[in-house]
Amino acid sequence: MNIPRQLQNRAGTTGLIDFLEINTKPTPPLVVRHLKEYSRQNVPVNREVYRFLNDNSDDPAVANLNGTTCLLLPNNQYVRPDQVFWSEHPFGSYRYQLGPELRQYHSLFERLGVRERPEDHDFIEVLLEISLDYAQSHSPRNEQSLAIVMCCWEELSVALDQERLTVDELAVLKDHPVIPNNQYQLIRPEDIFFEDRAGLAAKFPQFLENNVIARPQGAWRAMSKVGVRLLGDAVELHMIECEGDVDDEALSALVQERHRLLNRIIESEKVSATDGLNITILGKLHFRKARKLLINYSLQAFKQKRTTDPEAVPALYLKDEAGFIAVYENGNISWPAIAREMASAIKPIGEIGGLAGGIKEVLASASMKEAERSLDELGYPPLQEHLQTEVEPSATIQGLGGEVLPAEESTDPTVGDTGLPETPAGVEETLQPGAGGNIGSATPSGETASPTSGDGISETSSETTAGSTATTGSGTSSGDGRPSTTTGTGSGDPGRKSLPKRKPTGGLRTYVSSNNGDTPSTSDPDGHQRRTTIGQIGVDRVLAYETECGRTARDTNETHRNHPGYDVESTDTEGNVRYIEVKSMEGYWSRRTPASVTRAQFGKAQELGDQFWLYVVEFAPDDERYQVFPIQDPFGKVNQYLFDDGWQELAEIEEQPETPEK
């Protein structure tokens, strides 16, 4: 060293390092840089490096090792912390398991993100690594690699079924060779098919030799989400000739007669099937017969199109038109072919051999008893069909018990302007729990018993119900961002109390009257005037409501008295127009105080469709209690009309001529 001898003697040998102020203890940042540099050069480090970092695992510098190849294996290979696990894993040589003796470095490994066991994304990463290896070598995978690939797809399918993983997260696999074919080669998902119908791939020899596989049990669901297609969906069937095509009444009648036994087979299939069954298709099939039936197939794939030669077939299910054609030769038909085509209609995806076998036994048997005996021998469990007896409606409670004070009057009258001022008294009301849901998004389903005739409306009345009820209260939505109800926010009363939510009393009901209700009744001028006044208050409430919702509204009655079909036109900022018919209530809007529309309003609603809105305003005159219920296209939501026996009075029954005596 270029240090004067005198100074060297003064420092001595033991204190030289201290004299030169050299740090004898490394710092965590220095050790981290040392480890990363040795890893980059693939040079082994001293094991004391890991002991030191474990003792200093809380130092921020240690975090710089996350995601880097910083763990040195006994074979002197560096790996990332996310490539090792404490527990067993199914990844073979693509991942590593840490032994219990390495728990002494637990603090460090935990800081680096070493996990106990694999997670869903690990299976995706391993598939990508195997795919990269294959792309570099283009050599078939060995059985060990294939087993790892299939294990990854099985785990990904489970993760999808349990909703731990989304289809979007799998999308990264779409453009990589990750699907093994029968030759142990890896193929891109879009270039390979599942053979969902036996013999279909054989119709395209050589063309599909390396690109069709059977659906791997437990793995195919995830594969299908990244682009592997069913061959049956990709192949187009063309009917070239159908000679002597007529309705097949005999086969149709046979299927109808043995429907119960066919259902017995289908129900058994439902127990074990993981794929969707089209259990209603048999009732929709249009059966036809022919003397000769020629078809061919075509397939567009790999930027090429191939078409097969014409071939005769004994039966054919036409998916697009729910048609079924059977070929009769000398009065005979092929029951195996018919059973196979029916099974493919019932079970579009998956193995159909067992289902087809049961259908063949049912249809080919000489009698119902023989068919039933065959199913018994095959072990199909008995099936109890639905009872045909309809449940009679329960008695309707028209009122409560106890005495009524003479002066007691209803405080909840209907005040609409359509000729139905009172409750449809006597109308049978089925006590039905509501199904919930918002007004603007009600989905019609279900039905209730038809009402009896009443005094409040024409005796020829009927009702239609939908199995959804409307919720009320501030802040609810119609499903498209529009407020479905409001507790009133008219200008000048921001502090008005919100009404408590009121549970709807049943489904969406409509009473249909045969009387002409286009002209309001004038038999009670005072009552009519009051209804007109209440009606205008309701319109004003709606105008204020529309303004607060950011729309520009106008009262059509200002320019056209008694405007036909609707009361308000309201336009939003994008130019969309609502044609609004307003119905005003002095009290609650309930089953006993319904809103009603005229023939003209009903016709306008049908004409305008989604642009027509019915706004019901209950407690219209009350600044504190009023509510606005906007309903889009109410008549478009009706899916069934029920006509009760009151319509008998409109029946046009012709008298039968008397039979002359002999």
pLDDT digit string, tens, across residues 540-585: 999 999 999 999 999 988 877 777 889 999 999 999 999 999 999 9
Question: Looking at per-residue confidence, does 598 or 393 come out higher?
Answer: 598
Contact (Cβ atoms closer than 8 angstroms) between residue 239 and residue 293: yes
Average pLDDT for residues 21-48, to the nearest whole number? 89
Confidence bin at 447 (pLDDT 50/70/90): very low
C-alpha gyration radius of the chain? 39
Question: Looking at per-residue confidence, does 411 or 94 come out higher?
Answer: 94
Q: Could you please report the per-residue DSSP string of 609-647?
A: GGGEEEEEEETTT-TTT-EEEEEESGGGG----EE-GGG
pLDDT at 562: 74
Average pLDDT for residues 629-640, to the nearest whole number? 86
**Phi/psi of residue 311, each to 5°?**
-145, 150
- Say if residue 339's pLDDT is above 80: yes
d(CA 324, CA 340): 12
d(CA 518, CA 379): 65
Question: Looking at per-residue confidence, does 3 or 539 come out higher?
Answer: 539
Question: Looking at per-residue confidence, does 348 or 106 come out higher?
Answer: 106
- Say if residue 77's pLDDT is above 80: yes
Contact (Cβ atoms closer than 8 angstroms) between residue 228 and residue 221: no
Q: Which of 310-314, 381-385, 401-405, 591-595 has the highest mean pLDDT?
A: 310-314
pLDDT at 484: 39
- Say if residue 474's pLDDT is above 90: no
Q: Could you please report the per-residue DSSP string of 307-328?
A: EPPPEE-SEEEEGGGTEEEEE-
Average pLDDT for residues 105-129, to the nearest whole number? 96
d(CA 601, CA 191): 57
pLDDT at 636: 85
* Span of 98-102, 545-549, 571-575, 646-650 with lowest mean pLDDT: 646-650
Contact (Cβ atoms closer than 8 angstroms) between residue 297 and residue 238: yes
SS3 336: helix
Contact (Cβ atoms closer than 8 angstroms) between residue 633 and residue 479: no
Confidence bin at 600 (pLDDT 50/70/90): confident
From the CB of residue 176, how many other CB atoms can be counted at a distance below 10 Å? 18
d(CA 225, CA 76): 39
Give the list of residues 6+ apart from residue 572 with CB closer than 8 angstroms, or none: 550, 551, 552, 578
Nearest CA-CA partner of 98 in 90, 108, 87, 107: 87
pLDDT at 482: 35
Q: What's the pLDDT tens digit per position in 406-425?
A: 544 444 433 444 333 343 43
pLDDT at 352: 85
- Say if residue 627's pLDDT is above 50: yes
What is the pTM assigned to this prediction? 0.54
What's the N-to-C CA distance of the chain in angstroms? Answer: 149
Average pLDDT for residues 297-318, to the nearest whole number? 94
Question: How much of the chain exceeds pLDDT 70, in percent?
Answer: 72
The single-letter DSSP state of residue 450 is P
**Phi/psi of residue 14, each to 5°?**
-80, -30
Q: Provide the total of helices (H) and of strands (E) in the chain, helices listed first.
A: 17, 25
- Say if residue 116's pLDDT is above 50: yes
Confidence bin at 401 (pLDDT 50/70/90): low
pLDDT at 66: 93
**Phi/psi of residue 376, each to 5°?**
-60, -45
From the CB of residue 336, how many other CB atoms can be counted at a distance below 10 Å? 14
pLDDT at 2: 65
- Say if residue 477's pLDDT is above 60: no
Determine which helix (DSSP H) or strand (DSSP E) holds 527, and give its type and residue range. helix 525-548
Q: Could you please report the per-residue DSSP string of 165-190?
A: S-HHHHGGGTTS--EE-TTS-EE-GG
Q: Could you please report the per-residue DSSP string of 53-86?
A: HHHTTTSGGGGGGTTSS-EEPTTS-EE-GGGEES
What tokens were used for 38?
């040795």
What tokens were used for 616?
């019901």
pLDDT at 404: 55
Q: What's the pLDDT tens digit per position in 40-71?
A: 999 999 999 999 999 999 999 999 999 999 99
Question: How much of the chain exceeds pLDDT 90, in percent?
Answer: 52
Confidence bin at 384 (pLDDT 50/70/90): confident
What tokens were used for 389?
């007896």
Average pLDDT of the residues of the chain? 79
Confidence bin at 589 (pLDDT 50/70/90): confident
pLDDT at 138: 75
Ramachandran region, residue 379 (left: φ > 0; alpha: ψ -120 to 50; beta: rest) = left
Average pLDDT for residues 103-107, to the nearest whole number? 94
Average pLDDT for residues 92-100, to the nearest whole number? 94
Q: What's the pLDDT tens digit per position in 482-519?
A: 333 444 444 434 444 445 555 554 445 555 555 544 44
pLDDT at 479: 36
Note the residue count of the chain.
Answer: 662
d(CA 441, CA 63): 51
Average pLDDT for residues 275-281, to the nearest whole number? 79
> Residue with structure tokens 């199913």?
375
